[in-house]
Chain A
Amino acid sequence: MTQEAELVFSRPESLSDVVTHYCPGCIHGIVHRLIAEVMDELGIRERTIGIAPVGCSVLAYNYFECDFAEAAHGRAPAMATGMKRVEPDLTIFTYQGDGDLASIGTNEVIHAAARGENITTIFINNAVYGMTGGQMAPTTLPGMVTTSSPYGRDVKTQGYPVRVCELLSQLDGAAYIVRRTAYKPAEVRKLRRAIKTAFQVQMAGLGFSLVEVVSNCPTNWGMTPKESLKFVEERMVDYYPLGDFRVKDEVKDLR
């Protein structure tokens, strides 16, 4: 080999060189990488504060090379509000699961969006409480078996799933609310673009941005990683349609 090999794939500078604790096949890892790639691309690693949730991604602060805080369960959007109001030039993002964002922290995310806080939320919807061992989440599909809906989620007694993007898209303070997934490479590419747009929305001061990721939890779904991706494609995306739910006109001008 005399010719120099071209490096086409490497670890983003914003991603820490450590082993994560995520289960094999879990989409959390993919989303982490995409966020790090976007931070590199936008050159904002040194001007960003991330906020980790309580949930499987509670240790996210170990996996990014930017400043990080760990919030109480569900409170990341309030914490982000406090940071952004005193450090408007920094990019502030929260990373939250569905129990964190759509159950215990519903109030915080709704009001952060309503106020049009200039923050970005990456929302991982895997339809269960992963960290505590697979209990029913607000996003658990009707009929889905979890450790706290052992006979399948009965909507008569356990209610219906919460569609976060549809809810938040009603708020005028929200600038960019989209749902993506990551079960195949083409979807991963779309997700990456959405994450980048969400950060750009914040940097342009346009208001609240949120990217929901229809995700998986092979461990608590009792599936192989491959089966779980099929479930995402066939069942999850059916209930949680992918798409753009609110995109302010100024956001379109960004592209």
Chain B
Amino acid sequence: MKVLMKGNEAIGEAAIRAGCDAYFGYPITPQTEVLEYMSRRMPKLGRAFVQAESELGAINMVYGAACTGTRVMTTTSSPGYSLMQEAVSYIALSFVPCVIVNIMRGGPGLGNIQPAQGDYFQMTKGGGHGDYHLLVLAPATVQEMVDLIVEAFDLADKYRQPVTVIADGLIGQIMEPVAFPELKAPQRPERPWALTGAKGREKNIITSLYLGAERLEQENIRLQATIRQIEENEVRYTEYMMEGAELVVVAYGTAGRIVQTAVKQAREEGIAVGLFRPISMFPFPYARLKEIASTAQQILVVELSAGQMIEDVRLASCDQLPISFFGKMGGVVPLPDDVLAEIKKLVK
């Protein structure tokens, strides 16, 4: 059964269905409805909800709850995610699972609350200090958001790493029909590493401190091995009208949605254009895009930023073909017609 639901509320419900046992957050537009939704639902289900004193508080509560091996989530928006970076780096090297959602807004600075994709570098290239990458999933519809949130919890458990989901205020605020999976009770499968009280076993320690250089190197090697596994197993993307496409437009999330409409119109006008939409922003679908680059004639990258993902597109295609960029900053959202005009300019 499908229900009509706002993106942000669907995030909350999806997490609950996935067995999320604890939510910690701090109000920031355009994701505050997740916090409000969780404040209504979690206590009724006997699960933990705390409105934290700040995003620092929220992410460190997530860290604490995650140490016990339970399913836990926080949601925030760009400035809030910046504030969380220290703890996210700790969590990555501590090998504890959690889900973090960033409903991006216009930046830098306080920016505004309009849809933007300016956090791509921060999300996909680490964000905090030290060598790490987090899995980053980017839905383009509310249904895809729900599906990816549910999956994010499984992936976090699988790799014992934070898994992030990114979108923007457009997907957060839009209402669409969605189907949810069955409600799962919070699960705590056997987690020998978790802090649960040292009953009948040696004590467990969760730390990101390793004073000896060799010891810290070992932990880094372990983390990098996990990241390599993620790169191998978790690449996700979708293709739209790619048959015989001479021009391939690469866009994700909200931009991907806009481009899809433009591509459809362009095809109706006989233009050989297709959409390649990465869903896992890390790991980026380099291999598939490399294949595409070997047959297409040119690539257009569309982002709601000054051009960040384009660096990965260039890496994937090794600059073998012309790559152009169309982007809007500051929360300006282009219309499908703007993208169509851009497509027409390129295929002329």
Contact = CB atoms under 8 A, between A and B. Distances in A.
A183 interface: no
Which of A67, A90, A108, A110 lies at the interface centre, i.e. has the most chain B CB atoms within 10 A of its CB? A67
A46 B206 CA distance: 16
B242 to A, nearest CB: 44
A66 B86 CA distance: 26
Interface in B226-246: none
Interface string A95-113: 0000000000001101100
Contacts of A51: 64
Contacts of B64: 51, 69, 78-84
A67 B64 CA distance: 12
Q: Which of B66, B70, B197 has the most CB of A within 10 A?
A: B197
Contact of A49 (B60, B197, B200): B197
A67 B61 contact: no
B53 A68 contact: no
A45 B200 CA distance: 11
Given A47-B197, A78-B61, A82-B60, A72 B86 contact: yes
Contacts of A111: 52-53, 57
B207 A70 contact: yes
Contact of B67 (A48, A58, A64, A83): A83
Contact of A68 (B63, B66, B68, B203): B203
A230 interface: no
Contacts of A71: 60, 63
A75 interface: yes
Nearest to A76: B60
A41 interface: no
B207 A69 contact: yes
Nearest to B194: A67
Given A61-B205, A72-B90, A82 B63 contact: yes
Interface in A10-50: 45-49
A47 B24 CA distance: 24
A67 B48 contact: no
Contacts of B62: 82
Contacts of B86: 72
Contacts of B197: 46-49, 66-67, 87, 90
A87 B205 contact: no
B170 interface: no
Contact of A86 (B21, B56, B63, B203): B21
Interface in B135-179: none
B204 interface: yes
B209 A108 contact: no
Nearest to B65: A82
B87 A49 contact: no
Interface in A101-142: 107-108, 110-111, 115
Contact of A78 (B60, B70, B207, B208): B60
A65 interface: yes
Contact of B87 (A58, A61, A75): A75
A58 B210 CA distance: 11
B63 A107 contact: no
Given A68-B205, A70-B208, A111-B57, A83 B199 contact: no
Contacts of A62: 205
Contacts of A82: 22, 24, 50, 60-67, 72
Given A67-B204, A70-B209, A85-B50, A45 B68 contact: no
Contact of B50 (A45, A107, A115): A115
15 contacts: A48-B197, A49-B67, A67-B203, A68-B195, A70-B208, A71-B60, A72-B87, A79-B60, A82-B24, A82-B63, A86-B22, A86-B70, A87-B196, A110-B53, A111-B52
Interface of B: 21-22, 24, 48, 50, 52-54, 56-58, 60-68, 70, 72, 86-87, 90, 195-200, 203-209
